[in-house]
Amino acid sequence: MTLYVLVTGDPVASVRERRGAFVDLFRDAIGDAGSGAIVAIDCRLPLAPLPLDASALVVTGSSAHVPDREPWVLEGEQFLREVVARGVPTLGVCFGHQMLGQGLGGRCVRNPRGREIGTLRIERLAGAASDPLFGDVAEVFEANVTHLDTVSELPPGAVPLARTAQEDHHAVRFGETCWGVQFHPEIDRDVMCGYLDARREVLTTEGRDVDAMLGEARETPASREILRRFVRMFVR
């Protein structure tokens, strides 16, 4: 069985040098939860239809912005509409979550509440109680986060599953086997610290205490388990 990873960007340079590309971070996070092949597809290159052997698809984060409506993003959204219509289980992460939100009929914008970054507490919503991916997640769990944009309007039929004070749609069920998470289940403490260091200048300009944020960065096993559960459910 094959898990495909639609790559939409790269980690910050220091993280990529030490830990590899996003597909490597996902492979590390999945660990022994999946025994099948993990194959990367670069969304920034011309896309062919998803191969028929796909058990599931994960869509990565990116430093790009869905609201910029670049041609490769539009093509990627069309690709995702076709994948979801085929019923291929799909999990979008950060930018991938935003692509799904926009591509399936919602709206992605720059978050008027500002940047979210660091290890944050995520609140599970009532809609998660019966969800197969989020149903047994704790009512409050921690996740590593870095993003500027938000899915401000959900597509028809989408169900919000988790939120923070700055982000109403931290997790969404877009369809029967299609989810998006604004947080990063593949980012561990080491990678989170790499992002905070890389963003130190802009975060300081925003009035953030980066050293304090580094001290608060943690491993987030509950959010990682969501990714691992997705793989166990669909990649056998």
Between CA 32 and CA 12 the distance in angstroms is 26
pTM comes to 0.97
Q: Give how far Cα 227 sits from Cα of 27, 31, 54, 157, 171, Å.
A: 11, 10, 17, 23, 12
Q: Rounded to whole angstroms, what are the CA distances from 79 to 57, 60, 104, 159, 172?
A: 11, 14, 11, 22, 19
What are the Cα distances from residue 135, in Å, to 12, 99, 112, 138, 151? 33, 24, 30, 9, 22
So what's the pLDDT on residue 35? 79
Q: Are residues 96 and 6 in contact, defined by beta-carbon separation less than 8 angstroms?
A: yes
pLDDT value, residue 236: 73
CATH class of 2-234: alpha beta
Q: What is the mean pLDDT of each run of 10 residues along the chain (236 residues)?
A: 96 98 97 91 97 97 98 98 98 98 98 97 97 95 98 98 97 98 98 98 98 98 98 92
How far apart CA 88 and CA 81 sit, in angstroms, is 10
pLDDT score for 34: 83
> pLDDT value at position 219?
98
Look at residue 101 in the predicted model and tell me its pLDDT. 98
Please report, for the chain, the start and end positions of each structural domain, with discontinuous segments joined by +: 2-234
